[in-house]
């Protein structure tokens, strides 16, 4: 399908032509491990074994590449599996990575507890400040890692500015685009080299599948990543790929509703006497609001806030919520609430990435916003 089509059209059609055998408008779930070959070494359409390639996964990977404006998309069993493959492809012992000072806890754990054991070094920088990123570079730096918006403090990085820093130094820029989704933001068009997703979140959108993705703008790097994907084997299964494709079809309309609901939620929180600080890039008072407005279509469905009364008060808000389900993850149609310090970001406790103990994070779903506002009001007390 032509990449000249609009995002909404690509989300429904890219990689998903009607099945040539039956005319089915939805790609079949090829729940198969191996394929009959047309003679020894004669692969039919390139398929031999589903770790290497599977038609359902191919449909998803083509769709991901189209949505991010890249040349190669790769689908994995989880977001962290995608990150692991990417780091093993890009890095060798002795290399160095710059990571954000407010990264997702699982990403931090991968660097601190796993990557470090390979002999790879990392250091932390405030990626919202291109000068701080430049100052963190070393001769052995190979990758700058960015989340924007970040998890859980909704920090914003100027992708184009940091891409300039990276490429001036001959360094790859990796952008985790999970919070925004390609509907709201396309980092490759702003100079990023690789985009990372936990497709578990907004791409899948229904809290019923775990997955991850990489998309690259460079065909050669795409081939290297595909080699490691096959060699390491943490691929998306066919049913998981099918569920993710199903979710992507409604990504645009869901993200519009997530964003609209989140804006109303922030209005409530900003004016509430028991809330001391609100983190949301759509707020004019956000330090990098103008950067977010420049590089994002709208501001997404994630909101974090600090509660007067400290950690126990924040935990109680989470426990009192009813419509907002207490749970980890994000990006589903249903609203979720959590305490990052004790849940998703427990792994960064005691580090430079430690989050405030009084912080609450909400993933604003697509329910009636009036019902969501009522629930938050009673939860805050």
Which one is catalytic: 109, 142, 172, 201?
A: 201
- Domain ranges (residues) in the chain: 7-248, 253-380
Candidates 51, 246, 257, 320; catalytic one: 51
d(CA 85, CA 320): 40
Question: Which of 103, 363, 330 lies closest to 259 in space, CA to CA?
Answer: 363
The CATH number given to 7-248 is 3.40.640.10
Catalytic residue, chosen from 30, 35, 104, 280, is 104
> Which of the listed CATH numbers 3.30.565.10, 3.40.50.2000, 3.10.20.440, 3.90.1150.10 matches domain 253-380?
3.90.1150.10
Residue 124 near residue 71, CB atoms below 8 Å:
no
Q: Percentage helix, strand, coil, to 5, in the chain?
A: 40, 15, 45
d(CA 256, CA 239): 27
Q: Which of 84, 176, 193, 358 is catalytic?
A: 176
CB 344 within 8 A of CB 361: yes
pLDDT tens track, the chain, 381 positions:
656 789 999 999 999 999 888 999 999 999 999 999 988 878 888 899 999 999 999 999 999 999 999 999 999 999 999 999 999 999 999 999 999 998 898 999 999 999 999 999 999 999 999 999 999 999 999 999 999 999 999 999 999 999 999 999 999 999 999 999 999 999 999 999 999 999 999 999 999 999 999 999 999 999 999 999 999 999 999 999 999 999 999 999 999 999 999 999 999 999 999 999 999 999 999 999 999 999 999 999 999 999 999 999 999 999 999 999 999 999 999 999 999 999 988 888 888 888 999 999 999 999 999 999 999 999 999
- In the residue annotation, 280 being an active-site residue is answered as no
Going 108 to 114 to 116 to 121, the CA torsion angle's sign is negative
Contact 199, 75 (CB under 8 A): yes
User: Which whole-number Å values give the CA distances from 141 to 42, 123, 136, 166, in the listed order?
Assistant: 43, 10, 9, 10
Output the DSSP codes for 49-100: BTTT--HHHHHHHHHHHHHHT-SEEEEESSHHHHHHHHHHHH--TT-EEEEE
176 is catalytic: yes
Does residue 104 have an active-site annotation?
Answer: yes
Task: Tell me if residue 202 is catalytic.
Answer: no
Give the whole-angstrom CA distance, residue 238 versus residue 33: 10
Q: Report the C-alpha gap between 247 and 183 in whole angstroms.
A: 13
Q: Is 155 helix (H, G, I), strand (E, B) or coil?
A: coil
Spatial distance between the Cα atoms of 121 and 136, rounded to a whole number of angstroms: 12
CA 278 to chain centre: 21
Distance (Å, whole) CA 271 – CA 142? 44
At a CB cut-off of 8 Å and minimum separation 6, what does 2 contact?
A: none
Question: Which pTM value belongs to this model?
Answer: 0.96
Q: What are phi and psi of 130, to 5 degrees?
A: -55, -30
């Amino acid at each position: 399908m032509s990449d000249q089509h609009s995002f909404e059209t690509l989300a429904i059609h890219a990689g998903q032509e009607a099945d040539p055998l039956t005319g089915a408008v939805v790609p079949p779930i090829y729940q198969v491990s191996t394929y009959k070959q047309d003679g020894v070494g004669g692969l039919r359409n390139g398929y031999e074994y589903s770790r290497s390639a599977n038609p359902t996964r191919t449909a998803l990977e083509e769709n991901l590449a189209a949505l991010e404006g890249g040349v190669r998309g790769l689908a994995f069993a989880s977001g962290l599996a995608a990150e692991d493959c990417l780091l093993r492809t890009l890095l060798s012992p002795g290399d160095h990575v710059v990571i954000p000072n407010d990264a997702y806890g699982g990403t931090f754990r991968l660097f601190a507890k796993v990557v470090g054991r390979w002999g790879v070094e990392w250091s932390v920088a405030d990626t919202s400040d291109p000068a701080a990123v430049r100052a963190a570079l070393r001769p052995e730096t190979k990758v700058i890692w960015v989340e924007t918006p970040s998890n859980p403090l909704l920090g914003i990085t100027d992708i184009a500015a940091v891409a300039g820093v990276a490429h001036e130094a001959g360094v790859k820029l990796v952008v985790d685009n999970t919070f925004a989704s390609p509907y709201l933001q396309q980092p490759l068009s702003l100079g990023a080299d690789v985009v990372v997703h936990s497709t578990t979140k907004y791409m899948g959108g229904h809290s019923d599948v775990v997955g991850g993705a990489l998309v690259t703008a460079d065909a050669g790097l795409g081939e290297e990543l595909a080699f490691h994907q096959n060699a390491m084997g943490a691929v998306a299964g066919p049913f998981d790929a099918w569920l993710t494709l199903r979710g992507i079809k409604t990504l645009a309309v869901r993200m519009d509703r997530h964003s609209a609901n989140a804006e109303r939620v922030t209005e409530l929180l900003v004016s509430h006497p028991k809330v001391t600080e609100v983190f949301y890039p759509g707020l004019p008072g956000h330090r990098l609001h103008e950067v977010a407005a420049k590089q994002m279509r709208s501001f997404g469905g994630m909101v974090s806030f600090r509660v007067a009364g400290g950690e126990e008060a924040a935990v109680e808000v989470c426990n009192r919520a009813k419509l907002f389900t207490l749970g980890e993850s994000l990006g589903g149609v249903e609203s979720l609430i959590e305490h990052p310090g004790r849940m998703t970001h427990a792994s960064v406790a005691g580090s430079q990435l430690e989050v405030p103990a009084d912080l609450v994070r909400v993933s604003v779903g697509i329910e009636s916003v009036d019902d969501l506002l009522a629930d938050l009001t009673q939860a805050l007390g």
